[in-house]
């Protein structure tokens, strides 16, 4: 019996066998962006649903390719206990962060840029340009996420969703003044 660990596929062989921090996840998605042979075949687009493909998953990290059009929108969500990182490899996406009593903080992230976040991060992502492509990494691997909506009385609700479900905006009612402002 060998004490060697099983080999990992190309592009993932150097990953530590432990939970990765935010900056390590960012370095990972930045490295993967420079290796299109690992993800190019999975690129596809649809206005009806975001196209996404799992690139790698083990007990410590989860890596996805997501494809966007301007009509694709995740709705408000979190990543439960996972930290994450996103690298835009083509086009641009918009990240929105909620603010109580104000408009969301909007950031357009263009090709070549990346960002990372901890498990306390709530955001909403939308495609900005046709043909936008992002690489996402999460650690520990996603198991579930929280999807947020504001009900007719202005109360924010969190629904737990499985990591394999496509995130879409839940039915939203405009929030009353002073509550969480929903992105349009």
| Binding-site sequence positions for Fe cation | 77, 79, 123
User: Which residues belong to the annotated binding site?
Assistant: 77, 79, 123
| Other Cβ atoms closer than 10 A to 137 | 31
Can you tell me the distance from the alpha carbon of 181 to that of 97, in angstroms, rounded to the nearest whole number?
10
153 Cβ neighbours under 8 A, 6+ residues apart? none
Can you tell me the distance from the alpha carbon of 60 to that of 142, in angstroms, rounded to the nearest whole number?
10
Strand partners, 78: 146
Q: What size, in residues, is the chain? A: 184
Query: What φ, ψ does residue 87 adopt, rounded to 5°?
Result: -125, 130
Q: What's the alpha-carbon Rg for the chain, to the nearest Å?
A: 17
């Amino acid at each position: 019996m060998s004490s060697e660990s099983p080999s990992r596929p190309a592009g993932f062989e150097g990953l530590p066998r432990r939970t990765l921090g935010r900056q390590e996840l960012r370095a990972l998605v930045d490295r993967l962006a420079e290796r299109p042979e690992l993800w190019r075949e999975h690129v596809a687009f649809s206005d009806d649903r975001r196209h996404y493909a799992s690139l790698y998953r083990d007990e410590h990290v989860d890596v996805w390719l997501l494809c966007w059009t301007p009509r694709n929108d995740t709705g408000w969500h979190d990543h439960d206990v996972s930290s994450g990182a996103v690298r835009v490899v083509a086009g641009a996406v918009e990240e929105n962060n909620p603010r109580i009593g104000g408009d969301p903080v909007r950031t357009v992230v263009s090709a070549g840029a990346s960002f990372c976040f901890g498990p306390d991060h709530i955001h909403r992502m939308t495609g900005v340009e046709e043909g936008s492509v992002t690489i996402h990494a999460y650690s520990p691997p996603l198991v579930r996420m929280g999807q947020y909506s504001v009900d007719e009385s202005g109360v924010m609700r969190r629904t737990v969703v499985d990591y394999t479900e496509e995130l879409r905006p839940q039915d939203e009612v405009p929030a009353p003044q002073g509550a969480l402002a929903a992105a349009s």
